[in-house]
């Protein structure tokens, strides 16, 4: 009896071990197979990434642009810098890994700021933007001409363009609703002194007075203070530039191209004058006059046809890159 029980027990144990052995081998084989497949998959992924990375390194050749530092030019005085453009290799790689047809058109770029910015140059007047930046600004100095403002604002709206209006302080104080209207349409507000004086012939106290009073009028009307100063008639000296810069943190702005619209030229004359100088980084001076009102639509259209982006003075002077208009 004991022998039979022992034989039965050994049979059960043997059968169990046999079952485990039989079942264990396929599992072990399955796990081994999966590991081999995963290793092959990882190898393929790594190889594909490295192949794409090498292609990206080749594709980026000749497509990157070094940043341009701001500088003080003998003729143009302070000229803003312009951001460089480099290929973001990792971002490009991630984008191409999921693309059906990876190619240079899928490269991802990022901007690189110049080592020297416009602010770092100190107190210098500005006559133009960077000549590599495909942008232009039609800035409007306002001390009169209310009757032309609405039409000019409507033309700017039509073209979806924001620009900079430099306001005479006494005018701004007298017409706060006009000031608000300009700002509400999304335009930048600049300081054009208070009483349209000849700034280069003023003493220190009067220079402060002219700038400060307009700053306060604009602040009381809009709740913000301008960061740009355009001296009336373009009359200034280094003392004016220094005071605007050190006491009010303002950049002194002049112009590259002048409509001379205060002489009441024909619209065609204005168009011819500006067209001759219409290029990257140009600051165009105009006023709310009949000639500028009538020529603005054509000038904006022409600028876009030339691949220029009409924008505010601050945007024009920033180092931020602008794509060309198509």
Round to whole Å and give the CA distance between 235 and 233.
Answer: 5
pLDDT tens-place values along the chain, 326 residues long: 556 656 665 666 555 555 545 555 555 555 454 444 443 344 447 788 999 999 999 999 999 999 999 999 999 999 999 999 999 999 999 999 999 999 999 999 999 999 999 999 999 999 999 999 999 999 999 999 999 999 999 999 999 999 999 999 999 999 999 999 999 999 999 999 999 999 999 999 999 999 999 999 999 999 999 999 999 999 999 999 999 999 999 999 999 999 999 999 999 999 999 999 999 999 999 999 999 999 999 999 999 999 999 999 999 999 999 886 54
**Residue 151 in contact with residue 312, Cβ under 8 Å?**
no
- What ranges do the domains of the chain cover? 51-122, 123-317
The end-to-end CA distance of the chain, in Å, is: 102
Between the CA of residue 191 and those of 11, 77, 194, 228, 250, what are the distances in Å? Answer: 104, 20, 8, 6, 9
Beta bridge partners of 228: 251
CATH number of the structural domain 123-317: 3.20.20.370
Closest CA to 284 of 185, 173, 164: 164
Residue 79: CA atoms inside 13 Å, Cβ hemisphere, count?
A: 18
Largest CA distance in the chain: 132
Assigned token pair, 301 = 């259209």
């Amino acid at each position: 009896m004991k022998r039979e029980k022992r034989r039965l027990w050994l049979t059960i144990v043997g059968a169990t071990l046999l079952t485990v052995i039989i079942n264990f081998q396929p599992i072990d084989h399955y796990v081994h197979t999966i590991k081999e497949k995963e290793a092959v998959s990882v190898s393929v992924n790594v190889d594909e990434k490295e192949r794409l990375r090498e292609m990206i390194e080749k594709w980026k050749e000749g497509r990157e642009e070094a940043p341009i530092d701001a500088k003080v030019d003998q003729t143009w005085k302070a000229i803003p810098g312009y951001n460089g453009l480099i290929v973001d290799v990792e971002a490009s790689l991630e984008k191409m890994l999921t693309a059906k047809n990876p190619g240079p058109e899928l490269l991802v770029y990022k901007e690189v700021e110049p080592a020297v910015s416009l602010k770092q140059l100190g107190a210098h007047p500005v006559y133009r933007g960077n000549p590599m930046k495909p942008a232009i600004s039609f800035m409007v100095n306002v001390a009169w001409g209310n009757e032309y403002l609405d039409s000019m604002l409507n033309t700017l709206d039509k073209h979806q363009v924001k620009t900079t209006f430099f306001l005479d302080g006494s005018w701004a104080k007298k017409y706060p609703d006009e000031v608000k209207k300009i700002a509400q349409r999304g335009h930048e507000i600049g300081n054009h002194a208070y009483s349209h004086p000849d700034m280069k012939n003023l003493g220190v106290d009067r220079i402060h007075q002219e700038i400060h009073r307009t700053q306060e009028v604009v602040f009381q009307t809009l709740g913000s203070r301008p960061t740009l100063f355009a001296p009336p008639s373009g009359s200034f000296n280094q003392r004016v530039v220094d005071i605007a810069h050190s006491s009010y943190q303002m950049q002194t702005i002049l112009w590259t191209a002048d409509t001379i619209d205060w002489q009441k030229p024909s619209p065609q004359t204005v168009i011819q004058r500006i067209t001759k100088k219409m290029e990257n980084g140009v600051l165009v001076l105009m006023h709310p006059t009949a000639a500028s009102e009538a020529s603005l639509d054509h000038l904006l259209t022409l600028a876009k046809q030339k691949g220029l982006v009409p924008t505010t003075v601050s945007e024009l002077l920033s180092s931020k890159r602008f794509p060309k208009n198509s």
